[in-house]
Structure 1
Amino acid sequence: MTGFPDHQGGGLDGEGAGGDPVEPLLRQPPGYLDAPPGSFGRIRRRAARRRRMRAAGGGLAAAVVLTGSVYLVGALTSHDSDEVVSPPVSDSLTSTAPSTPGPSPDTAPTVNPAPTTTATTGGRGTRGATGTATTPPGPTPTRDAGTQTAGATPMCATSQLSAALGGGDAGAGSLFRYLVLTNHSSTACHLTGYPGLSMLDAKGAQIGAPADRQPMSYRPVVLRPGGAVSDTIHTVNQQGTCLPASVKLRIYPPGNTAWLDFPGSVTNCDNLFTVTPFTAGSTGNPPS
Structure 2
Amino acid sequence: MTGFPDRREGGPDGDRAGPAEPLLRQPPGYLDAPAGAFAQIRRRAARRRRVRAAGGGLAAAVVLTGSVYLVGALTPHGSDDLVSPPASDSLTSAAPSAPAPTRDAAPVPSPTVPDGRRSAGARGGTATATGTTATGTPTPGGPRGGASTGTTPRCATSQLTAALGGGDAGAGSLFRYLVLTNHGSTACHLTGYPGLSLLDPDGGQIGTPADRQPMSYAAVVLRPGGTASDTIHTVNQQGTCLPASARLRIYPPGDTASLDFTGQVTVCDGLFTVTPFVAGARGNPPS
Tell me the TM-score normalised to structure 1 length. 0.54
Q: How does 1:198-237 map to 2 (within 5 A)?
A: 198-237=197-236
Q: Verify: 1:282 aligned to 2:286, yes or no.
A: no
Aligned residue number for residue 125 of structure 1: 126
Query: Shift in Å at residue 151 of structure 1?
Result: 2.2
C-alpha offsets along residues 158-190 of structure 1, whole Å, 9 cap, x if unaligned? Answer: 001000000001111110000000000000000
Match of 1:189 in 2: 188
Counterpart of 2:140?
Answer: 136
Which amino acid is the alignment partner of residue 140 of structure 2?
A: P
| Structure 2 residue runs without a partner (length 5+) | 1-105, 107-121
Percent identity, please.
Answer: 74
Deviation (angstroms), 1:273: 0.4
In structure 2, the residue matched to 1:62 is none
Cα shift at 1:150: 1.4
Letter in 1 for 2:186: T
Residues 134 and 212 of structure 2 are in contact (CA less than 8 Å); yes or no, is this contact kept in structure 1?
no
* Corresponding pairs, count: 164
Q: Distance in 2 between matches of 1:181 and 1:270?
A: 28
Say if 1:183 and 1:225, in contact at 8 Å, map to a contact too: yes
- Alpha-carbon shift at residue 275 of structure 1 (Å): 0.4
Cα distance in 1 between the residues matched to 2:265 and 2:176: 9
Question: Per-residue deviation at 1:141?
Answer: 4.2
Aligned CA-pair RMSD = 2.1
Partner amino acid for 2:172? Answer: G
Distance (Å, rounded) in 2 between the aligned partners of 1:262 and 1:217: 27
List per-residue Cα deviations over 1:239-286 (Å, max 9, x = no partner).
110000000000000000000000000000000000000000000000
* One-letter amino acid matched to 2:236: N
The higher-RCO structure (CA 8 Å, 6+ apart) is: 2
> Matched residues in 2 for 1:180 and 1:134: separation?
21
Distance change (3 Å), C-alpha of 1:235 and 1:135: closer
Contact 2:132–2:253 (CA under 8 A) maintained in structure 1: no
1:235 counterpart SS class: strand
Q: Tell me: CA distance 1:174–1:123, structure 2 relative to 1, closer, same or farther (3 Å).
A: same
1:108-146 Cα deviation digits (max 9, x unpaired): xxxxxx9xxxxxx99433422426855536xx142x33x
Q: How does 1:97-112 map to 2 (within 5 A)?
A: none
- Find the counterpart in structure 1 of residue 178 from structure 2: 179
Q: Please state whether the residue corresponding to 1:159 is helix, strand or coil.
A: helix
Displacement over 2 Å in runs of 4+: 121-137
**In structure 2, what residue type is equivalent to 1:226?**
G
Taking structure 2 as the reference length, what is the TM-score of the superposition? 0.54
Gaps of 5+ in 1: 1-113, 115-120
Q: In structure 1, the residue corresponding to 2:217 is in which secondary structure?
A: coil
Measure, in 1, the Cα distance between the counterparts of 2:233 and 2:138: 26
Contact 1:122 1:130 in 2 (8 A): no
SS at match of 1:130: coil
Distance 1:122 1:152, change over 3 A: farther
> Which amino acid in structure 2 is aligned with residue 206 of structure 1?
Q
- Specify the code of the residue in structure 1 equivalent to 2:133: T
Partner of 2:244: 245
**Aligned equivalents of 1:249 and 1:224: distance in 2?**
25
Partners of 2:192 and 2:253 within 8 A in 1: yes
